[in-house]
Amino acid sequence: METVVIGEIAGAYGIKGWLKLKSWTQPLDQIFNYQPWLLSKGEDAEKRECSVLDYRQHSGQFVISLDGITNRDEAARINRQRIEVPKDRLPGLPKNEYYWADLIGMQVLNLAGDDFGTVSNLLETGANDVLVIDGGRQRLIPFVKGQVVTSVDQAAARITVDWDTDF
């Protein structure tokens, strides 16, 4: 089963087992529509299913109560765990829109055919998302379709960019 990371446990909150939550969905509260969640420590780690019992917004983020977590010590044990869901539970996207998870691992070439490496991550900067590309060196390339990103070929797992090799 292919999963997608949609958030992360960001620490214990209080003494009754509540947790801070980092949501990577847009809008942020969309994360609660994909339950139950799978918690894991990393890509190949065992996944544990859990459900949110309660949540509320606090200081610009969410705090949550999960089933089976009843005190601060239990909450601290799952700090920094990833929140994953099966990929097939995410809604379909319109043409020329992509989930970040679909772009990670794609090969990036410029118009001259120079291989920059593969997308290892994306950054949200406010103005536009930025591809983090690891190859011979790390490059940060704005994900601006039609200007910098000239094509995304999901079948070939390749992104073509209008970007000079010296940048």
For residue 148, give both structure tokens. 């910098």
pLDDT tens for each residue of 35-72? 999 999 987 789 999 999 999 999 889 999 999 999 99
Structural domains of the chain in order of their starting residue, each with its CATH number: 3-89 (2.40.30.60), 100-161 (2.30.30.240)
Find out whether 76 and 69 touch, Cβ atoms under 8 Å: no
Q: What is the DSSP string of 76-128?
A: HHTTT-EEEEEGGGSPP--TT---HHHHTT-EEEETT--EEEEEEEEEE-SSS
Dihedral over Cα of 143, 145, 150, 152: its sign? positive
What pLDDT does residue 2 have? 86
Distance between CA atoms of 19 and 79, rounded to whole angstroms? 8
Query: Model pTM?
Result: 0.76
Quote the CA–CA distance of 61 and 50 in Å, as a whole number.
Answer: 20
Nearest residue to 8 via CA among 20, 28, 126: 20
**Tens-binned pLDDT, residue by residue, of the chain (167 aa):** 789 999 999 999 999 999 999 998 888 999 999 999 999 998 778 999 999 999 999 988 999 999 999 999 999 999 999 999 998 898 888 888 888 889 999 999 999 999 999 999 999 888 899 999 999 899 999 999 999 999 999 999 999 999 998 88
**71/37 Cα distance (integer angstroms):** 20
pLDDT score recorded for residue 101: 86
